Chain A
Amino acid sequence: MVSGQWSVKYQDILTPDPWPLPPDLNMADKVKLRQLDDYRWEITREGKMRTRGLVFASRKMIPKIQEDQSLQQVANVATLPGIEGPSMAMPDIHWGYGFPIGGVAAFNLEEGVVSPGGVGYDINCGVRLLRTHLARREVDGRIEELVNTLFKNIPSGLGSRRKDLKLTIPTLHEVMRYGAGWAVKNGYGHKGDLEHIEANGQIPGADPELVSDFAMDRGKDQLGTLGSGNHFVEVGYVLEVFDEKLAGALGLFKDQVTVIVHTGSRGLGHQVCDDYIKVMLKAAAKYGIELPDRQLCCAPLSSTEGKRYLAAMASAANFAFANRQMITHWVRESFEQVLQMGPKDLGLELIYDVAHNIAKIEEHLVNGKKKKLCVHRKGATRAFPPGHPETPAAYQKTGQPVLIPGDMGRYSFVLVGTEQALTETFGSTCHGAGREMSRHAALKMARGRSIVQELKAKGIIVRGAGRATIDEEISEAYKDVEAVVEVAHGAGISKKVAKLKPLGVIKG
């Protein structure tokens, strides 16, 4: 029984109509844009900007982007010290807090800064994709049962926590130090998984001692939980293959059943971000960094504050890798339970796991010279090319897989990283669709409809912890991810491999 599962009445969800944004928040962007080609727009360097802005978008996307302040945010990031290359935004750019969502900015280690607002509250929110040996027809009629089993095995929803798994502080420290490796060592998945995760599922330099007790309190019974909002586990299939050779190398074929997991570091990461924003507000004043927006607060990468944040951020990022690894284990168990098949026959193997909210120390070419930079990706995905030392061994010939989830009613994309991305965007590309409609507007649009039934009619079984989350996440509330991916592909900062369509989704 999917509909009618909520014992609480729904009519009260809709709060009164929101007020319009106050004038200072509602200014249409006055930032000057210059079109460079079909996919690139430049924000001219002006005022306190230390560099130009570079936005990847199609002409059709521009009016919507100009409605809010995301372009101003790209310009604001350009004012921060030590920025290398342009302040960039990927085609899924939208208004965030501080940095725009879809923002990419790299800073040199000498004068540059690190900003918790350039990573976001959900540190190492990310996506992983699993393939199977199954063709779509082999799960015909079993999706509802699969979705229900996944829903039972993976705690999800507002404030989801595990009653069976409360971590002690020493264990939590190990999780934060070793990330996905901790999970594998403790029986969640196998060693081979680690080779298919960004940074092998462990960001180096983590120091759990720099994570507050408040953060650990929030994290200790949230490991292995999906959470709420736009997080999900999705069973789908390969609808279309764009490049047979690349798809083959990634182990993907048409009609193949796939699974996507999208979640992050839960309350632990949120608290780390909040804790360090407070530190950075003081640090920015201490080091004389002028801030156009308090949420951009930062500290020099060479400062104690900067180094401490990076070590705490790495700890939270590793918690997120462990989280996705554990959920993967329960995905495998759920499939085995429902389909009564062994792991060998199921072939639920990890294709890749990428972070889309993170700051990383990476080596890039700047004016022809190799240089270590701190690359902030906030709602952006790493997209390293074939042959790059950080591209995993399995993908040395294809380029690093990039996973772009869409909304629950449409489709998701698999891409690979390119040389163009490495030279132009510090090896980065888009991360998703981006909202087009506020949650309130989405709830209003969903009112009187059964989104669950509508999706069922389209062949997609959805199960969520609350009806509000499902209604807020209706397809109409999101931009079409295909348009975003077309820009990334057209601009050459990643290459399309395959398109996936959902069959069953569990929402937080």
Chain B
Amino acid sequence: MHPKGPRPVKYRQLSHTADLGLRIRGATPEELLENAGAALTAVLTDRRRLRRQKVEEIEVEAPDLEALLVAWLNRLLYLYDVDAFLGREFQILELNPQSLKARATGETYDPERHLAGTAVKAATYHHLEVKNRNGRWEATVILDL
């Protein structure tokens, strides 16, 4: 339990029959993107079992914040496909209107030790939304499974 009461919810899955929706929250756009990374990992495996062994530096570009969110998640899926890398923690180092720099800390997926969760093909633009609601940031993104 957080000293000041329950911690704010960082992300939650949305019920969707065929695919999977994610509702992500954060105090800032940076935190929103960091939490989005964690939300994606949580679909793929049990995030808490990942060790902090490997660091990946990531840079992506996209025309706006919504598209950046999708590009960021798809880059993480790329790293998973190519290097079996799964991030446990994410840090947005730099966020511009059309680009971001980030650091992901985690490890290589090992089927012996890690839970095989749900496979994700891609983050989509369908009903994609990022908005500021009463000073807090909230995003909706649908993953293609």
Interface positions of A (Cβ within 8 A of B)? 7-10, 12-13, 15-16, 18-22, 24-25, 68, 94-98, 101, 117, 120-122, 157-159, 161, 214, 217-218, 222, 227-229, 267, 270-271, 273-274, 277-278, 281-282, 293-295, 297, 434-441, 465-469, 472, 508
CA distance A440 to B19 in the complex (A): 10
Task: Identify which of B30-38, B92-100, B106-114 touches chain A.
Answer: B106-114
Q: Are B126 and A281 in contact (CB under 8 A)?
A: no
Q: In the complex, which residues of chain B have a beta carbon less than 8 angstroms from the beta carbon of A15?
A: 13, 42
The 6 closest A-B pairs by CB, nearest first: A466-B116, A97-B126, A228-B119, A267-B81, A295-B126, A294-B125
Q: Are A441 and B116 in contact (CB under 8 A)?
A: no
Q: Which of A271, A437, A439 contacts B20 (CB 8 A)?
A: A439
Query: B66-101 vs A: 1/0 string, CB under 8 Å?
Result: 010001001001101110100000000000000000
Verify if B53 is at the interface (C-beta below 8 Å from A).
no
Q: Are A508 and B119 in contact (CB under 8 A)?
A: yes
Q: In the complex, which residues of chain A have a beta carbon less than 8 angstroms from the beta carbon of B122?
A: 121, 270, 273-274
| Chain A nearest CB, measured from B145 CB (Å) | 6
| Chain A nearest CB, measured from B144 CB (Å) | 5
Q: A8-B115, A158-B119 known; 6 other A-B pairs, CB under 8 Å? A: A8-B112, A158-B44, A270-B122, A277-B125, A281-B67, A439-B145
Chain A residue with minimal CB distance to B75?
Answer: A214
| Chain A nearest CB, measured from B36 CB (Å) | 15
Q: In the complex, which residues of chain A have a beta carbon less than 8 angstroms from the beta carbon of B14?
A: 18-22, 25
Q: Are B20 and A229 in contact (CB under 8 A)?
A: no
CA distance A96 to B125 in the complex (A): 12
Verify if B54 is at the interface (C-beta below 8 Å from A).
no
Chain B residue with minimal CB distance to A267?
Answer: B81
Q: Are A95 and B15 in contact (CB under 8 A)?
A: no
Chain A residue with minimal CB distance to B116?
Answer: A466
| Chain A nearest CB, measured from B134 CB (Å) | 16
Q: How many residues of B contact A (CB 8 A)?
A: 49
Q: Are A95 and B116 in contact (CB under 8 A)?
A: no
Q: In the complex, which residues of chain A have a beta carbon less than 8 angstroms from the beta carbon of B121?
A: 121-122, 229, 270
Query: B1-31 vs A: 1/0 string, CB under 8 Å?
Result: 0000000000011111111110100000000
Q: Dominant SS at the B interface? A: loop
Interface positions of B (Cβ within 8 A of A)? 12-21, 23, 42, 44-46, 48-49, 62-63, 67, 71, 74, 77-78, 80-82, 84, 109, 111-119, 121-122, 124-128, 140, 142, 144-145
Q: In the complex, which residues of chain A have a beta carbon less than 8 angstroms from the beta carbon of B17?
A: 68, 94-95, 435-438
CA distance A466 to B49 in the complex (A): 16
Q: Are B15 and A13 in contact (CB under 8 A)?
A: no
Q: List 8 A-B contacts (CB under 8 A).
A: A8-B49, A15-B13, A16-B13, A21-B21, A96-B18, A159-B109, A217-B81, A438-B20
Q: Are B63 and A468 in contact (CB under 8 A)?
A: no
Q: Are A7 and B113 in contact (CB under 8 A)?
A: yes
Chain B residue with minimal CB distance to A214?
Answer: B78
Q: Are A434 and B18 in contact (CB under 8 A)?
A: yes
Residue among B17, B114, B145 having the largest count of chain A Cβ atoms under 10 Å? B17
Q: In the complex, which residues of chain B have a beta carbon less than 8 angstroms from the beta carbon of A281?
A: 63, 67, 125
Q: Are B15 and A466 in contact (CB under 8 A)?
A: no
The answer to whether A159 and B80 touch (CB under 8 A), given A18-B15, A94-B18, is: yes
Q: Are A472 and B118 in contact (CB under 8 A)?
A: yes
Q: Which of B49, B119, B124, B125 contacts A227 (CB 8 A)?
A: B119
Q: Are A297 and B125 in contact (CB under 8 A)?
A: yes
Q: In the complex, which residues of chain B have a beta carbon less than 8 angstroms from the beta carbon of A274?
A: 74, 122
| Chain A nearest CB, measured from B76 CB (Å) | 12
| Chain A nearest CB, measured from B44 CB (Å) | 7
Q: In the complex, which residues of chain A have a beta carbon less than 8 angstroms from the beta carbon of B16?
A: 21, 95, 438
Q: Are A120 and B144 in contact (CB under 8 A)?
A: yes
Q: Are B126 and A293 in contact (CB under 8 A)?
A: yes
CA distance A282 to B98 in the complex (A): 14
CA distance A24 to B140 in the complex (A): 11
CA distance A437 to B124 in the complex (A): 21
Q: Are A293 and B127 in contact (CB under 8 A)?
A: yes
Q: Are B116 and A469 in contact (CB under 8 A)?
A: yes
CA distance A435 to B15 in the complex (A): 13
Q: Are B15 and A441 in contact (CB under 8 A)?
A: yes
Q: In the complex, which residues of chain B have a beta carbon less than 8 angstroms from the beta carbon of A435?
A: 17-18
The answer to whether A8 and B113 touch (CB under 8 A), given A15-B42, A19-B23, is: yes
